[in-house]
A and B are shown apart, each in its own frame.
Chain A
Amino acid sequence: MKRLGKVWTFLVFLFLYAPMIVLFVGSFNDGRDLSEFEGFTLSNYLDFFADSGSLRLLANSFILAISSSLAATLLGTLAALGIHAMRGRMRRAVMTLTNIPLVNPEIVTGVSLSLLFVFIGRSMLGSDQVFGFGTLLIAHVTFNLPYVILSVMPKLRQTDSSLMDAAQDLGCTPLQGFFKVMLPELWPGIIAGAIMAFTMSLDDFVISYFTYSPNFSTLPVEIYAITRKPVPPMYYAMFTLLFFVILVVMIGMNVIQARDERRQERKKLRGV
């Protein structure tokens, strides 16, 4: 029974990773077709680094992911502190608001934002050319916010509220108390939220697709356009490189989480 479970798990992982292996192999392929290996080459990687267009797209995606995750982290952490102080009906109402972008189908979120931007452009700015970095940033901050809030809230619940009182008794101003006592406690949640927001933003296709403009496009949106034609194999090289970047980020996140869990354990033991 146990062995059966392990074999099954292996097969499922094979299913999940087979397409990625195809892309990995395709990145070294001397032909265009993913299903035919015509010989080993590194030229796809060289092509990628020589192609200013795709580097531009990659830079765009990173700029958008970094700025939107930073903005969402700041706004979301403040919001989590505020929500934590709320009780009863008000808290439920705000949490419902937080859940809307999480449960709403992405295509509906994308469509609804595009309608809003068109409306604002036409009636307030008198222009049809509203789409661009600004609209993408707003859209990404909006769908990133819930992830930040949901990863900071549990940390707030774990934090002993008398810590802030103690800090103030010992002469801290509320602001000092926050930066010296609360923030270190919340830090793992904030970082986890920021990283999650960053990866969601980096890989978002559907919502970006409805809010981008050709002047400022992102990688996933452009890949969508490209996959309607035969895809230049340098994109497989880029996928492979991104895979390892994301792998490193996720391992880093794991280490932070593991350290935090150990810290919580120690705290529990000390409490006993």
Chain B
Amino acid sequence: MKNKLLAGPYIAWMAIFTVVPLAMVAYFAFTTPDGDFTLSNFANASEYLPIFLRSIWYALAACVICLIVGYPVAYVIAHSGANVQRVLYLLVTLPMCMSFLLRTLALVALVRDTGIINSFLGLFGIGPLPLIRSSGSVIMGMVYNYLPYMIMPLYTVIVKLDPRLIEAAQDLGCDSVQCFRRVILPLSVPGIVSGITMVFVPAVSTFYISQKLGSTENMMVGDIIERQFKGVANQNLGAAMSLILMLLVFISIGLMNRFTDDDEEVATI
């Protein structure tokens, strides 16, 4: 009973530094700079609808590509020997701890018009290929930065899969494709869901990647919000857009979690 009190300082901390700040975002979103109630911030924010849609589209594309690229990697890691597994897992998580700003800058040095890849192709008389300043390059930047967030949860789920289930499926006459589709893939759903969440949230709200790898036509919500707080300083509009972004993220996470819950129900039947 007494033990519960140990969480007291933590709950107080989180109330002051998480809940209150979010309430302040809501307050700023619904007021003018003078503090009067208004809805005009949302009216102004709605002008940025195409940018919201673009951000969602980039983030979804990055999720799908991360899943397709990352799943085989997670599978290979999970089926390696114990020591190889440790090393590979470390190699996946290591980039996440290294300055993503400098790494993204190096990615730019690789793909820009006078970059390393194009100079290399130039030796064979190819190019220069337009590898940068497009939707594709922004999405590639996201995949590069957030792929580890997809591989990690996938690996965690795949490594715990009971090999007896796969043997049972094979005994019952599944070929390897059926086995994957009907046993392995459905059992990986929790990993897929948490991977998609972990990629989608930072991808939809990024501003550095689009600045470095995109053009003004690839601006994202994060760029606009950053500008409201650091540049032209319309904090009320920025707050309204932050609020919309937050709701967007919470709704998509809610939808994703529903997806796993349903699946667990199916699994228990």
List of B residues within 8 angstroms of A94 by Cβ:
7, 11
Asked if A113 and B239 sit within 8 Å, CB to CB, the answer is no
With A111-B229, A115-B21, A243-B98 as known contacts, state yes or no: A82 contacts B204, CB within 8 Å: no
**Contacts A9-B72, A97-B11, A223-B102; is A19 near B107 (CB within 8 Å)?**
yes
Sorting the interface of chain A by its residue count into under 10, 10 to 19, 20 to 34 or 35 or more gives 35 or more
Residues of B close to A121: CB separation below 8 A? none
Interface string of A38-54 (1 = CB under 8 A from B): 00000000000000000
Q: Which residue of B lies closest to A98 (CB)?
A: B14
23 residue pairs A–B, Cβ–Cβ below 8 Å: A5-B75, A8-B72, A9-B77, A9-B88, A16-B144, A19-B107, A19-B110, A22-B106, A35-B114, A79-B11, A82-B4, A82-B8, A97-B14, A104-B249, A105-B205, A109-B18, A111-B25, A112-B24, A113-B21, A142-B13, A149-B10, A224-B208, A242-B98
Query: Closest CB of chain B to A204's CB: distance in Å?
Result: 10
Of residues 83 to 132 in B, which have CB atoms within 8 Å of A's CB atoms?
A: 86, 88, 90-107, 109-110, 112, 114-116, 119
Main secondary structure of the interface of A (DSSP, over half): helix
Known contacts A19-B144, A115-B235: does B249 contact A75 (CB below 8 Å)? no
Bound Cα distance A35, B93 (Å): 26
Query: Is A34 part of the binding interface, using a Cβ–Cβ cutoff of 8 Å?
Result: yes
Q: How many chain B residues touch A (Cβ–Cβ < 8 Å)?
A: 81
What DSSP secondary structure best describes chain B's contact surface?
helix
In the complex the two chains form, is A138's CB within 8 Å of B17's CB?
A: yes
Binding site for B on A (CB under 8 A): 1, 5-6, 8-9, 12-13, 15-20, 22-23, 26, 33-36, 75-76, 78-79, 81-86, 90, 94, 97-98, 100-101, 103-109, 111-116, 119, 138-139, 141-142, 145, 149, 199, 202-203, 205, 210, 219-220, 223-224, 227, 231, 235-236, 239, 242-243, 246-247, 250-251, 254, 258
